[in-house]
Amino acid sequence: MALFLSTYINKIDKKGRISVPALFRQSLSSKIFSGLIVFRSYKYAALEGCTMDRMEQLSKSVDQFDQFSDAYDEVSSTIFADAHQLSFDNEGRVMLPETLRTYANIESQAAFVGRGASFQIWNPTDFYLFQKEARQKILSNKTTFKINPQQNSE
């Protein structure tokens, strides 16, 4: 399973290309597709990014809805219909479509934000403010969580 950690801020060139962090590229390259999947977050002014394997997991999760239900239609149209497959060029860059850059208020730089099994792409200033607020909420709510016991792979 791919694991995306840390935050990297990279520049966007005049053509809309951005270098994907090397450690992210390693997790994103596979026999099926060498690139990333990106779609608009429906929670934040940011982009959701992941591997093709993660998209397949999302698809299986969405398939648990009744196929003709409103929930199925809403989730599938906000994730899959909006998803872009972005292939790496020879220098490890991808072309971020203008519509996605506009949605996430991304202009000259973007922050690649690790989220474990997936990542997000933010306007760096917007992410800094979000992260600062999130930290304050964690402290004031005294948020904790339990670590899942490791699964034995035998």
Exposure string (b/e) for 29-56, b if CB count within 10 Å is 16 or more?
A: beeebebbbbbbbeeeebbbbbbbbbbe
The model carries a pTM of 0.89
To the question of domain 7-141 being in CATH 3.30.1490.100, the answer is no
48: left (phi over 0), alpha (psi -120 to 50) or beta: beta
Tell me the per-residue pLDDT of 36-47, one tens digit each, with 9 for 90 and over. 999 999 899 999
Per-domain residue ranges for the chain? 7-141
- Which pLDDT value is given to residue 152? 57
Q: How far apart, in whole angstroms, are the C-alpha atoms of residue 41 and residue 79?
A: 8
Residue 144 pLDDT > 80, yes or no? yes
- C-alpha 57/C-alpha 114 separation (Å) is 18
From CA 82, how far away is CA 80, in angstroms rounded?
5
